[in-house]
């Protein structure tokens, strides 16, 4: 009998979690009508929007900064937090240059935060769970303690833990952190691994080649953005 009730409770919990999870998935079809209830309730935020930007090695950072070039940092998207993977000094440097060109001051208008890499190239699979955990904890600190309004990412591996953690406040109805994903210009016919993993969970999934929208109906194509 005891086992039966245990099972019942477990099933009820599981169903609640699944239903709730389903509720917080992005509603792409109602995006244009904007009458989806959960959408409105959690998104009456007025600007400025606290923005989190995930940078990644080399090409990803270059594309990201190109995307942000014309974005209004002074009245709409501030303060900004750049998430950079530990060893990637070049990306931090590029972000600093980019911001100072716009006349912004570090630690006032924007900050740069480092997270450890989820997995080094060639790292053994046995130690990988630990390093993944380490980077998840770093993301909890960055995302949950600060609750940004918006996360922008474009495909480096580090955007996966960031997006996962961003779902927690959404799940509990605390805050709907908007997730915007832009697939790299380099992806013509196939998505990157990050893209494949995140496409169903982000609020906007933008690609830069039209062919990908045929293959992945959730993706939007509006032209080359970088």
Judged by CB under 8 A, does residue 129 bind another protein?
no
HSE-CB at 199 with a 13 A cutoff on CA atoms is: 17
Which of 37, 45, 102, 196 is the binder for another protein (CB under 8 A)?
A: 45
What would the two tokens of residue 70 be? 């014309």
Pairing outcome for strands 220-221 and 204-207: parallel
Judged by CB under 8 A, does residue 77 bind another protein?
yes
Query: Which of the residues 85 through 114 are near another protein (CB under 8 A)?
Result: 90, 93
Which of 95, 98, 149, 201 is the binder for another protein (CB under 8 A)?
A: 149
Q: Helix 2-24 to helix 159-171 angle, to the nearest 10 degrees?
A: 110
Residues in the chain: 226
* Nearer to another protein among residue 134 and residue 187 (C-beta): 187
Judged by CB under 8 A, does residue 69 bind another protein?
yes
226: number of Cβ within 10 Å: 16
HSE-CB at 26 with a 13 A cutoff on CA atoms is: 19
Cα 107-110-112 angle, rounded to 5 deg? 80
* Nearer to another protein among residue 78 and residue 134 (C-beta): 78
Judged by CB under 8 A, does residue 180 bind another protein?
yes
Size of the site for another protein (CB under 8 A): 43
Query: Residues in the site for another protein, rule: CB under 8 A?
Result: 34, 43-45, 47, 49, 58-59, 62-63, 66-72, 76-77, 90, 93, 149-150, 152, 178, 180, 182, 184-190, 203-204, 206, 209, 222-226
């Amino acid at each position: 009998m005891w086992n039966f009730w245990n099972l019942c409770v477990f099933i009820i919990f599981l169903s609640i979690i699944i239903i709730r999870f389903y509720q917080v998935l992005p509603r792409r079809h109602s995006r244009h009508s904007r009458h989806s209830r959960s959408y409105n309730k959690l998104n009456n935020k007025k600007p400025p929007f606290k923005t989190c930007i995930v940078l990644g090695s080399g090409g990803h950072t270059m594309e990201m900064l190109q995307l942000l070039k014309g974005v209004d940092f002074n009245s709409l998207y501030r303060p900004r937090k750049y998430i950079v993977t530990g060893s990637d000094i070049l990306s931090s440097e590029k972000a600093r240059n980019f911001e100072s060109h716009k006349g912004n001051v570090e630690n006032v208008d924007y900050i740069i935060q480092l997270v450890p890499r989820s997995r080094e190239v060639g790292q053994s699979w046995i130690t990988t769970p630990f390093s993944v955990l380490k980077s998840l904890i770093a993301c909890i600190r960055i995302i949950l303690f600060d609750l940004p309004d918006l996360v922008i990412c474009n495909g480096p591996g580090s955007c996966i833990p960031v997006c996962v953690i961003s779902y927690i406040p959404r799940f509990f109805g605390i805050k709907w952190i908007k997730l915007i994903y832009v697939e790299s210009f380099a992806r013509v016919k196939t998505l990157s691994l990050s893209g494949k993993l995140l496409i169903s969970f982000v609020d906007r999934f933008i690609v830069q080649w039209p062919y990908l929208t045929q293959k992945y109906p959730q993706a939007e194509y509006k032209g080359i953005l970088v």
